[in-house]
Chains A and B, each alone.
Chain A
Amino acid sequence: MKNKLIQIAGFALLVISTAITLLFLGAIIYFITINGFKVISWEFLTQVPRRGMTQGGVAPAIIGTFYLTLGSILFSLPLGLACGIYLCEYSPKSYIVNIIRMSINNLAGVPSVVFGLFGLAVFVKFFSFGVSILSGSLTLGIMVLPQIIAASQEALLAVPQSYREASLALGATHWQTIKRIVLPSALPGILTGVILSVGRVAGETAPILFTAATFYTRGYPDSIFSEVMALPYHIYALMTEGTHPEKQTAIAYGCSLILLFLVLLVSSIAIIIRQRQRSGYEV
């Protein structure tokens, strides 16, 4: 009897902790949606900010986030995919490969603000790209590189060995096998990883603090060397700078809702792709 009571109490604790976790999720989504909806309008999404950030929209920040995300994926996808291909398809199981694996793992654990420092010292200062889209994209790109490598590796490893053997047996070369058989089969998995990285890059603030972002630009960026507004940085700046805290908080709610919506959209797409793909390799 006593054991049974303990069991009930224990299970109740587990249910409660899960419920609290979900409560937090619900609270974040609820408050940001309710307050964000009040300011979101067509004007908010398409206009430049006016009157010291209290009126108008946040279009330059949306565009800026788009450029930074695009730039970082353009940089990290080819590099990360190539790295994944090398580790899965070409590399002998050796000491050096282990070192690469470990360094990727460790790169993934480096705090994002440290990537910001690296970007500042290397891209902004050493290469003199200045505070710009280019510096920010490269910094963000390096930050998500480990994630893209890991996703590519996982997707490539999931392709059954028999696919490769069949292709090689038919006389295809190693590269032909990779290009025509392995990569197409691994594509959904790689795509999932890339989409999740997009979500992460779009929301990151610390790496662009000193490499790309600025609170206010007059219009839209005109080259990869111009500084940009970005949604996440804009939220931070609205909450810590400026002279109209109340109006700015309202706008920050709007920006948070856009960002939250983007990220949730992106991760649901990734989750759907992954669930569809689960039943993919029924051999």
Chain B
Amino acid sequence: MPKEKLYKLVFAVLAFSSLMFLVGITIILFTEGLPIFSEIGIMKFILGKHWYPTYHPPEFGILPLIAASFWVTLGALMVGVPLGVGSALFLSELAGPKIRSILKPLIEILAAIPSIVYGFFGMVIIAPFLQNLFNLPTGLCAFTASLVLGIMSIPIICSLAEDALSFVPSSFREASLALGANRWQTLVKVVIPAAGSGISTAIILGMSRAVGETMTVLMVAGGAAVIPRSFFEPVRPMTATIAAEMGEAAMGSFHYHALFAIGLTLFLVTFFFNIIAEIISRKYRIKLGLGR
């Protein structure tokens, strides 16, 4: 029937258009970002130690920005991984169904809070608090940004890790308990290793989110484009640089292209994380016999 075929065709075209957006984003980032590479060279761009886009002559080295992103992401993981995985273990292994049905939505709410609200909260509450606590010159620094990003990554890590834990067959637990191991030993020696790749996927995706988070770091990281020497110095991660400077960069200028090149770098980094997460989770599903 031709009408049926028409419907199928329409849906196929619409489905492919979402593919086009991914392709489109990639193309735009490359075409708008590449001019800066041909101008100053890709190595000098990535490894250059100075980011002075508005000086004469300007310098476009993004190493301080990459270091800042790396720094705050690492810090965020130190907060987010123990708390996220810890909460996931609590929810799936300790909490009864009643407590779980209350706590799970609460943690989902933590995920739903917009990043601007986290940024604002970090700026008006956490930064002054840490500044007083550690006697810092400014509360807006890598440490504060890490803490806020870490809080933001808890719900992602927690819910993905909890999914992974729920896939571990209960026969694994029963076998271990039957052999005389107590619940903690079962958890550490059997359940966590069995869910290990699922938990690492959760951590990688949490990391990917932390690298790409913009408003929070724009508001609380301090904004100094220098290579950080300690956790208590102001930094300017890649996302914050794009957000802060795109408004001032003249269209078509080297600064404009450099900001797109930073976007490209970010895109490639998160793309890489996602691919790794996908590969791990696929292997893991096969290992536990979940198919696909």
Binding site for B on A (CB under 8 A): 3-4, 6-7, 10-11, 13-18, 20-22, 24-25, 27-28, 31-32, 78-80, 82-83, 85-87, 89-91, 99-100, 102-107, 109-118, 120-122, 125, 142, 145-146, 149, 173-175, 196, 199-200, 202-206, 209-210, 232-233, 235-236, 239-240, 249, 252-253, 256, 259-260, 263-264, 266-268, 271
**Most chain B CB within a 10 A radius of its CB, from A18, A27, A122, A199:** A18
B221 at interface by CB-CB < 8 Å: no
Closest CB of chain B to A139's CB: distance in Å? 11
Which B residues are CB-close (under 8 A) to A87?
15
Is the Cβ of B107 less than 8 Å from the Cβ of A21?
yes
Is the Cβ of B29 less than 8 Å from the Cβ of A82?
no
Closest CB of chain A to B87's CB: distance in Å? 4
Residues A175 and B7 in contact in the complex (CB < 8 Å), given A109-B274, A117-B259, A205-B115: yes
Is the Cβ of B116 less than 8 Å from the Cβ of A18?
no
Is the Cβ of B15 less than 8 Å from the Cβ of A236?
no
* A-B interface, 10 closest residue pairs, ranked by CB to CB distance from nearest: A203-B114, A111-B212, A17-B86, A7-B184, A82-B14, A86-B15, A86-B11, A206-B214, A14-B90, A109-B274
Alpha-carbon distance A260/B23, docked complex (angstroms) = 34
Contact of A252 among B24, B89, B120 (CB under 8 A): B120
Which B residues are CB-close (under 8 A) to A235?
116-117, 120
Instruction: Mark each residue of chain B from 255 to 286: 1 if its CB lies under 8 Å from any CB of chain A, else 0.
Output: 00001100100110011011100100000000
Which A residues are CB-close (under 8 A) to B21?
107, 142, 145
Residues A271 and B105 in contact in the complex (CB < 8 Å), given A86-B12, A236-B119: yes
Instruction: Mark each residue of chain B from 63 to 94: 1 if its CB lies under 8 Å from any CB of chain A, else 0.
Output: 00000000000000000001110110111011
Alpha-carbon distance A108/B212, docked complex (angstroms) = 12
Is the Cβ of B91 less than 8 Å from the Cβ of A21?
no
Which B residues are CB-close (under 8 A) to A27?
121, 125
Alpha-carbon distance A145/B106, docked complex (angstroms) = 25
Is the Cβ of B119 less than 8 Å from the Cβ of A149?
no
Alpha-carbon distance A267/B257, docked complex (angstroms) = 38
> How many of chain B's residues have a CB under 8 angstroms from any CB in A?
87
Is the Cβ of A236 less than 8 Å from the Cβ of B219?
yes
Is the Cβ of A260 less than 8 Å from the Cβ of B243?
no
B242 at interface by CB-CB < 8 Å: yes
Which B residues are CB-close (under 8 A) to A249?
124
B interface SS class: helix
Contact of A28 among B82, B94, B113, B271 (CB under 8 A): B113
Alpha-carbon distance A158/B151, docked complex (angstroms) = 32
Alpha-carbon distance A16/B89, docked complex (angstroms) = 12
Alpha-carbon distance A233/B114, docked complex (angstroms) = 11
Alpha-carbon distance A87/B180, docked complex (angstroms) = 48
Is the Cβ of A259 less than 8 Å from the Cβ of B28?
no
Closest to A201 in B: B114
Which A residues are CB-close (under 8 A) to B242?
113, 116-117
Residues A114 and B15 in contact in the complex (CB < 8 Å), given A25-B110, A27-B125, A106-B22: no
A18-B91, A28-B118 given; 4 more Cβ-contact pairs under 8 Å: A16-B86, A120-B246, A204-B115, A236-B116
Give the A-B pair count, Cβ closer than 8 A: 255
Which A residues are CB-close (under 8 A) to B89?
14
Which B residues are CB-close (under 8 A) to A105?
274, 278
Alpha-carbon distance A199/B182, docked complex (angstroms) = 43
The 6 sampled A-B contact pairs (Cβ below 8 Å) are A7-B185, A20-B83, A99-B19, A174-B7, A240-B219, A259-B117
Residues A113 and B185 in contact in the complex (CB < 8 Å), given A83-B14, A209-B246: no
Contact of A173 among B4, B113, B119 (CB under 8 A): B4
Which B residues are CB-close (under 8 A) to A203?
113-117
Residues A267 and B22 in contact in the complex (CB < 8 Å), given A7-B183, A111-B214: no
Closest CB of chain B to A230's CB: distance in Å? 10
Which A residues are CB-close (under 8 A) to B18?
79-80, 83, 100, 103-104, 107, 145-146, 149
Which B residues are CB-close (under 8 A) to A142?
21
B179 at interface by CB-CB < 8 Å: no
Which B residues are CB-close (under 8 A) to A112?
212, 214
Which A residues are CB-close (under 8 A) to B90?
14-15, 17-18
Closest CB of chain B to A235's CB: distance in Å? 5
Which B residues are CB-close (under 8 A) to A209?
243, 246-247
Is the Cβ of B243 less than 8 Å from the Cβ of A14?
no
Closest to B246 in A: A210
Closest CB of chain B to A36's CB: distance in Å? 10
Is the Cβ of B86 less than 8 Å from the Cβ of A18?
yes
Alpha-carbon distance A165/B19, docked complex (angstroms) = 30
Is the Cβ of B213 less than 8 Å from the Cβ of A111?
yes
Closest to A107 in B: B22
Closest CB of chain A to B227's CB: distance in Å? 22
Alpha-carbon distance A32/B109, docked complex (angstroms) = 15
B144 at interface by CB-CB < 8 Å: no
Is the Cβ of B239 less than 8 Å from the Cβ of A175?
no
Closest CB of chain A to B188's CB: distance in Å? 7
Closest CB of chain A to B279's CB: distance in Å? 11
Contact of A3 among B108, B182, B263, B274 (CB under 8 A): B182
